[in-house]
Chains A and B, each alone.
Chain A
Amino acid sequence: MASSSSSGLTFKLHPLVIVNISDHYTRVKSQLSLPPSLTSTSSAATSNNNNNNSNGGENNQNPPPRVYGCVIGVQRGRTVEIFNSFELIYDPSTRSLDRSFLEKKQELYKKVFPHFYVLGWYSTGSDAQESDMHFHKALMDINESPLYVLLNPAINPAQKDLPVTIYESELHVIDGVPQLIFVRSSYTIETVEAERISVDHVAHLKPSGGSAATQLAAQLTGIHSAIKMLNSRIRVLHQYLVGMQKGDIPCESSLLRQVSSLLRRLPAIESEKFQDDFLMEYNDTLLITYLAMFTNCSSTMNELVDKFNTTYDRHSRRGGRTAFI
């Protein structure tokens, strides 16, 4: 069912959407299974089992619930940027979508975010299913080609990639019958600066309100690990290219073209205009640091002078210096 998309749209996903969906899912799941502290002692064992088993989704009593919701964002030309999302009420057994609820929510969100439009819908699960097409078609009267964002809530520690996939719908002719099927699309993660900082903050959960030194250390660690990532990726590329040169790995011309275009972009930093701007910024920062140091020094001096005056004050005591007790 899922082949690669051919619509040519680029998708940008904001981390807020991912956290939103995950929160919705966690909420619904925890409301369904009572926490162990609240159940009576006799059923504590079974609810403990519930909590432990629902991790893998393989639970006899209740499979993890599917949650449904709507994603909103902006579409500019060929770029689709998904900013936010909200929950929807959908009954999978009767396949009915609560329309009035959707409209109400849309209205509310329009008041606060007037630029965002409904771009599609989201759900949780491991794979796109046939039944999802009904929901998809229901949304088609709001947006002619809605997106389907699927999050896989199973926590798999070996996984390296985000368990989020974006599907589009395309009309394909199968067995002579034109049918809508889901096709996978690729996406990139896009962040606003503030978003990145708060995601970073929460992701690493360093103790908040620490002294300035720990905050600085935290930020530097972040940059350090980012540089380490870059370094490791470049190393992998380098090894790959060396392997290709030796002949161990078959030559792949598309990859070589990409690498050469990347390398050709590097000299952009060497231009004179860049150096001028860079040095100007650098000087500005140094000046400000110098100024801050000055202010600090002058305030310390001020304090010192005040203390000196208080200890050696000649007018209030009977003349001369007093012993420093």
Chain B
Amino acid sequence: MDSAIAQKTWELENNILAVEAPNPSSDFIFYYDEVAQAMSLKAKPWGNDPHFFKRVKISALALLKMVIHARSGGTIEVMGLMQGKTGGDAIIVMDAFALPVEGTETRVNAQADAYEYMVDYSQTNKQAGRLENVVGWYHSHPGYGCWLSGIDVSTQMLNQQFQEPFLAVVIDPTRTVSAGKVDIGAFRTYPEGYKPTDDPISEYQTIPLNKIEDFGVHCKQYYALNITYFKSSLDCHLLDLLWNKYWVNTLSSSPLLGNGDYVAGQLSDLGISFLCT
């Protein structure tokens, strides 16, 4: 078909490294090896090196659940936990679930309320066959970008002391919808007093004025991890077939109509920053 040829040409021109097409034998990423995980938890190779984890692999299911949950919160920040395992220098996120707490930026201990929920959910999941442990938390920053605020940094530092290995993921559902690409970031904090030797340049993102101070004060205390996604062979197959049904939605979606107030907010922010300089 023409579209297939066009896609191949585009991929070639842009040096897209083809992700190896998943086949049934490579689905073993879904296998949870309890013994190996227990061994790596004991060995704790991340204890000595604050920069140990460099990559994150997120499953298609986890991404879908997190983005939908983040979007369903509207302008309110929502949060949840992620389940998965470690694999070398990568944290692998297999699944995510929402927590029944609506966070505001001032709640440090939002997770204290949700511990019971978390324990119940993990127990039922283990019974139903999902054997992975909680390996991180995610929350949304609707409209103001993917970074860790002061509260987030202190929460994550606490998590990394007591619940290692732990990962923080931030999703911006408003920017996702308006840009048409998923706006997501994965972070780990440095321990107190550690100065990073190299300064990685992260992709620039516009942050509204009322948040820029919070961002600037803490932006050196954590680093971003590289995110890749994976899916099973059955997922691959189903998603291809799904495309036959939802191409209509692609055409009929209009980011302008859905995000009018977000754009207006950004413009007024821009106006104020013009006045300041």
Chain A residues near B (Cβ < 8 Å): 15-16, 18-20, 22-31, 34-38, 48, 51-52, 54-55, 86-89, 101, 104-105, 108, 111-113, 153, 155, 159-163, 188-189, 191-203, 205-209, 214-215, 217-219, 221-230, 281, 284-285, 288, 291, 295
Chain B residues near A (Cβ < 8 Å): 2-3, 6-7, 10, 14, 16-17, 19, 24-25, 27-28, 30-33, 59-61, 63-65, 67-68, 70-71, 95, 97-100, 117, 120-121, 124-125, 127-131, 173, 176-177, 179-182, 203, 226-229, 231-235, 237-251, 253, 255-258, 263, 267, 270
Q: Is the CB of A111 within 8 A of B117?
A: yes
Chain B residues with Cβ under 8 A from A201's Cβ? 63, 181-182, 229
18 more A-B contacts (CB under 8 A) besides A104-B124, A196-B253, A199-B239?
Answer: A15-B242, A26-B234, A30-B27, A35-B28, A38-B31, A87-B128, A87-B129, A112-B100, A192-B71, A194-B68, A194-B173, A194-B176, A196-B249, A202-B60, A205-B19, A209-B203, A225-B247, A229-B247
Q: Is the CB of A22 within 8 A of B238?
A: yes
Q: Is the CB of A195 within 8 A of B226?
A: no
A28 to B144, CA, bound (A): 39
A159 to B238, CA, bound (A): 10
Chain A residues with Cβ under 8 A from B267's Cβ? 288, 291
Question: Which residue in B30, B99, B235, B243 is a CB contact (below 8 Å) of A30?
Answer: B30
A124 to B160, CA, bound (A): 39
A209 to B58, CA, bound (A): 14
Closest to A214 in B: B14
CB contact under 8 A between A31 and B31, given known A160-B241, A192-B71, A205-B231: yes
Chain B residues with Cβ under 8 A from A24's Cβ? 129
Q: Is the CB of A209 within 8 A of B227?
A: yes
Q: Is the CB of B229 within 8 A of A20?
A: no
Closest to B254 in A: A281
A185 to B163, CA, bound (A): 47
State the majority secondary structure of interface residues on A: helix
Q: Is the CB of A111 within 8 A of B100?
A: yes
A270 to B274, CA, bound (A): 40
User: Within the complex, what minimum Cβ distance (angstroms) separates B8 from chain A?
Assistant: 11
Closest to A196 in B: B249
Q: Is the CB of B234 within 8 A of A112?
A: no
Which of B10, B27, B31: most chain A Cβ within 10 A? B31
A22 to B235, CA, bound (A): 6
User: Within the complex, what minimum Cβ distance (angstroms) separates B97 from chain A?
Assistant: 8
Q: Is the CB of A161 within 8 A of B241?
A: yes
Closest to B267 in A: A288
Closest to B125 in A: A87
Question: Which residue in A38, A188, A189, A198 is a CB contact (below 8 Å) of B182?
Answer: A198
Chain A residues with Cβ under 8 A from B240's Cβ? 203
Chain B residues with Cβ under 8 A from A222's Cβ? 180, 250
Q: Is the CB of B242 within 8 A of A162?
A: yes
A218 to B6, CA, bound (A): 12
Question: Which residue in A51, A108, A194, A281 is a CB contact (below 8 Å) of B70?
Answer: A194
User: Within the complex, what minimum Cβ distance (angstroms) separates A57 from chain B?
Assistant: 11
Chain A residues with Cβ under 8 A from B64's Cβ? 15-16, 19, 195, 198-199, 202
Q: Is the CB of B251 within 8 A of A230?
A: yes
Chain A residues with Cβ under 8 A from B241's Cβ? 159-163
User: Within the complex, what minimum Cβ distance (angstroms) separates B272 from chain A?
Assistant: 13
Chain B residues with Cβ under 8 A from A200's Cβ? 250
Question: Which residue in A89, A111, A112 is a CB contact (below 8 Å) of B127?
Answer: A89
Chain A residues with Cβ under 8 A from B258's Cβ? 193
Q: Is the CB of B251 within 8 A of A226?
A: yes
CB contact under 8 A between A224 and B127, given known A196-B253, A197-B180, A202-B231: no
Closest to A48 in B: B25
User: Within the complex, what minimum Cβ distance (angstroms) separates A20 from chain B?
Assistant: 6
A105 to B226, CA, bound (A): 34
Question: Which residue in B3, B33, B68, B173 is a CB contact (below 8 Å) of A16?
Answer: B68
A200 to B275, CA, bound (A): 40
**6 A-B Cβ contacts within 8 A?**
A37-B28, A112-B100, A161-B241, A195-B68, A208-B182, A291-B267
User: Within the complex, what minimum Cβ distance (angstroms) separates A100 from chain B?
Assistant: 10
User: Within the complex, what minimum Cβ distance (angstroms) separates A61 from chain B?
Assistant: 15
Chain B residues with Cβ under 8 A from A223's Cβ? 250-251
Q: Is the CB of A101 within 8 A of B127?
A: yes
Q: Is the CB of A55 within 8 A of B24?
A: yes
A223 to B70, CA, bound (A): 24
Closest to A107 in B: B120
Chain A residues with Cβ under 8 A from B120's Cβ? 104, 108
Chain B residues with Cβ under 8 A from A227's Cβ? 251
Q: Is the CB of B247 within 8 A of A226?
A: yes
User: Within the complex, what minimum Cβ distance (angstroms) separates A154 from chain B?
Assistant: 9
Closest to A88 in B: B128
Question: Which residue in A54, A191, A208, A214 is a CB contact (below 8 Å) of B229?
Answer: A208
Which 7 A/B pairs are nearest by Cβ-Cβ distance? A35-B28, A194-B71, A87-B128, A203-B239, A111-B100, A226-B250, A26-B232
Q: Is the CB of B245 within 8 A of A189?
A: yes
